[in-house]
Structure 1
Amino acid sequence: MGRGWRADLIVLGVEAALVVAAVAVGAVLNGRGVRLWADAAPLFAVWRPHAGWGTPAALAVAAAVVWRGVDIARRAPWGRLLAFAYAVAVAWTLSLALIDGWSGGLAGRLTPQAEYLTEVPRITDIGAMLSGFTDRILDFRAGSWSTHTAGHPPGALLVFVALDRIGLGGGGPAALVCVLAGATVVVSVPLALRSLGAEAQARAGLPFLVLLPGAVWMGASADAIFAGVAAAGLALLAARRWWLAPLGGLLLGFALYLSYGFVLLVLPALAVLWLRARHRVAALASGAAGVAAVAAAFMVAGFWWLDGYRLVVERYYQGWAADRPYAYWVWANLAALVLCAGPAIGPALRHTLVATARGAALWLPVAAGVAVLAADLSGLSKAEVERIWLPFVVWLMVATAALPERHRRGWLAAQAATALAVNHLLWTWW
């Protein structure tokens, strides 16, 4: 056994200990009546072993990717590879969701009272909704927004209003859009890496993106859409043709109106700009112009981001966040991150940090990791981070390119096993 493999096993042991500790301490705290508001802490779920008609499909997809994924990613023509990866990612996400059945796994996920869809039928005037959005953020008032609507800028609600207007209303169509949009990360992330001169790393990490355990929460939560928008924006910002940067800026600007936490996208965005071989200044200026254009449009419509952020922090502590203990979640969140990113993430980051190679394969996961740590320490991400941090997790997965090739199939199997265990042992609420 080589020294590197022993170090990987030590890191894996630390990850396992972190997850076990978070589960054990969470169970004790729940048993004592501490309001974690997460019955299966550190995940927002309940313990409910089950199987479903998605089970054989998920097992088949996992086996196929573990068996052939590494070879296909290495050799397939680029365009065909990305198309195939997208199709497999959709299949993986759908099969995991269908372990819970069509209604429980997809159609019913976005219809509870706390979700955006409950507000959609009430939106008859989009201009009035935007101009009066902040008036309805705080809770315990007549007309207060539902939990998720209040907790995000109005762009998130606009997405589901738009889907409804084009005939994709209701829980089933909205859930499928979440799946299809979330799976685009397996195209956007490799495209960004290739644009930044790291095609080999893009190919090496692609099977891990396809088989991401976080797909459990991609199907179906709005955060899958958020992850897709953010990844596409960063990919366009990285594109060699600098005139695509304004489009990236528009998407990243809109991402700021999907989630307040996306202000942390500035870290991977700056990493992308710094890693560009050419036209950095032009890409920065045009990308910033795109962000500014989106901000101006929302401001003219009557929504000011900073007012929304100030009020959403107040709303945050009107609910469960006031009870959830920071002393537990500040480290238990990281256990949830391990379950979302999979056990390969620790060894992958270790290899990335000790590798002699530098560039996108190093700085993009580092930037994503710093963003996650900032979100964790802020205290504004207490629990439910397995879905909230998905837009950053997909960039952390870039680090898997550094895993030794001879061990990649084993790590892919561990990734698949994690997703399958979570989805079969727990009933997740997202």
Structure 2
Amino acid sequence: MPAPDAVRPAPVSRRALRWDLVAVGSAAVLVVVAALVGRALLAAGIDIFLDFPPLLASWQPHIGPGTPIAIVTAAAVVLHGPALAQRLSWGRMLAAGWAAAVVWTLSLALVDGWHDGVVGRLTSNQEYLHDVPRVTDIAEMLRTFSDHILTDRPGFWTTHVGAHPPGVFLLFVWLDRIGLGGGGAAGIVVILVGASACAAVAVALRALGAEDVARSVLPFGVLLPGAVWVGVSADGMFAGVLAWGVALLAVGATAAGRRADLAALAGGLLLGYTLYLSYGLALGGLLPLVVLGVTRRRRAAVFAVAGAATVGAAFTAGGFWWLTGYRDVTVIYAASIAATRPYWYFVWADLAAVLFAMGPAMVAGLRRMAAAPRALPVAVALLAAAALAAILAADVSGFSKGEVERIWLPFVVWLTLPCALLPRAQVRAWLAAQALLALAVNHLLFTVW
């Protein structure tokens, strides 16, 4: 286990704050330019399929039953979250953080109402639950899954089912089989798993000897602006699964005995399964590589690889070959709305879109990490850098043209880590900024998913 390495609290400095605000202002300028250029493209007849560029959303000011709950939750976390994160015992802190994140995420979803905000998100004709009734034999579905990816074939899967490996669809089929079918139950499950990402990140940090960082950034994980899309988007659930895979691997790589082996194996199983949730999550492999690199625990690596290989072997034996699925998805992607979404625009506008999921506090935190990378423990800085590298790689690849405010959530949750560098005297203000951004997005816009 690496030796505990405390973060160096940043002193209150007007000069540093000015640079933070410059970074946030620059991010705001990027968003405005992306909006203006996006509208110009629409006016020129180029259909980028974004009504409110750079987001997939429409202008629709509204309030809903979740509005008062969201405001009260945000105020409670801003006022009391940082102190409670420092004072509570470890277990109670994790439980409180997870619970607060669930309430925050669900309340934001309920701003759009129970049906439009939760039930209808996963039941549209492009979503996973639309195709669940088609599955009468799970084994047969898995065996023939690739036969229905290409949209020029009869009986092709709906948009989200065909564009992902069968792992995520399989989860929703299983939920249906155990009586949790329908958009309401599925939506709540997605929120519960997605909102747990902040707790998983904290567990990983503590295992790597950075409990002080975990306690400092947990409130930022709770009030994640990206919670707007965690409730309810399957990508939010992906964030939770990936985060717990990394957390369990970190526990397995820093503990000892049978408990360590089981944790590493469980982490490997989850990490292996993430590859069958979304093809883009292959980039999430940078995070466990950081864990193994800083801990140098070969035994943990063996158990993790065994777990991941078991998942891959099970899907392959069931009839789904990952590379075949990926190849077919690149074909349908090239012929989809991506064909009219110009790369030159989205390669930078996507960065503007993901800023809505990150919020100003993460921008300021990343600015401080770039200015003083050694101010963070090595493992923490590398995890944040890995998440940022995954986003940049996905961006440059051209396979994420738009909608990244939800697609990149599995990486965004790890960008809370540099927020530990924000001065404690300013934490409440930065948390308030995070909450206000999420509240503004959810009340002024209607997001598609």
Q: Taking structure 1 as the reference length, what is the TM-score of the superposition?
A: 0.98
1:362 CA drift (Å): 0.7
Q: Equivalent residue for 1:42? A: 54
Q: Equivalent residue for 1:427? A: 446
Q: Equivalent residue for 1:328? A: 345
Q: Equivalent residue for 2:219? A: 207
Q: Equivalent residue for 2:278? A: 259
Structure 2: distance between partners of 1:185 and 1:36: 31
1:128 CA drift (Å): 1.1
Describe how 1:154-193 pairs up with structure 2 within 5 A.
154-193=166-205
Aligned length: 428
Q: Equivalent residue for 1:299? A: 316
Structure 2: distance between partners of 1:410 and 1:27: 32
Q: Equivalent residue for 2:293? A: 274
1:49 CA drift (Å): 0.9
Structure 1: distance between partners of 2:265 and 2:97: 27
Q: Equivalent residue for 2:433? A: 414
**C-alpha RMSD of the superposition:** 1.0
| Runs of 4+ residues over 6 Å off in structure 1 | none
Query: Partner amino acid for 2:364?
Result: P
User: 203-212 or 264-273: which moved more?
Assistant: 264-273
Structure 2: distance between partners of 1:417 and 1:29: 29
Of 180, 187, 197, which residue of structure 1 is paired with 2:209? 197
Structure 1: distance between partners of 2:93 and 2:100: 10
Structure 2: distance between partners of 1:285 and 1:355: 31
Check the 8 A contact 1:131/1:301 in 2, yes or no: yes
Q: Equivalent residue for 2:122? A: 110
Is 1:315 aligned to 2:332, yes or no? yes
Q: Equivalent residue for 2:301? A: 284
Q: Equivalent residue for 1:124? A: 136
Percent of aligned pairs sharing the same letter: 55
Structure 2: unaligned runs, 5 residues or longer: 1-12
SS of the residue 1:427 aligns to: strand
Structure 2: distance between partners of 1:292 and 1:157: 20
1:355 CA drift (Å): 4.3
Alpha-carbon displacement from aligned partner over 1:177-209 (angstroms, at most 9, x marks no partner) = 111111111210000000000000000000000
Check the 8 A contact 1:361/1:401 in 2, yes or no: no
Structure 2: distance between partners of 1:17 and 1:100: 28
Alpha-carbon displacement from aligned partner over 1:207-250 (angstroms, at most 9, x marks no partner) = 00000000000110111221111111000010033311111000
Of 361, 369, 377, which residue of structure 2 is paired with 1:352? 369
Q: Equivalent residue for 1:379? A: 398
Structure 2: distance between partners of 1:380 and 1:356: 33
Check the 8 A contact 1:139/1:318 in 2, yes or no: no
1:13 CA drift (Å): 1.0
Q: Equivalent residue for 1:247? A: 266
Query: Partner amino acid for 1:26?
Result: G
User: 10-19 or 189-198: which moved more?
Assistant: 10-19
Query: Partner amino acid for 1:71?
Result: A
Q: Taking structure 2 as the reference length, what is the TM-score of the superposition?
A: 0.94
Q: Equivalent residue for 1:15? A: 27
SS of the residue 2:111 aligns to: helix
Structure 2: distance between partners of 1:4 and 1:360: 24
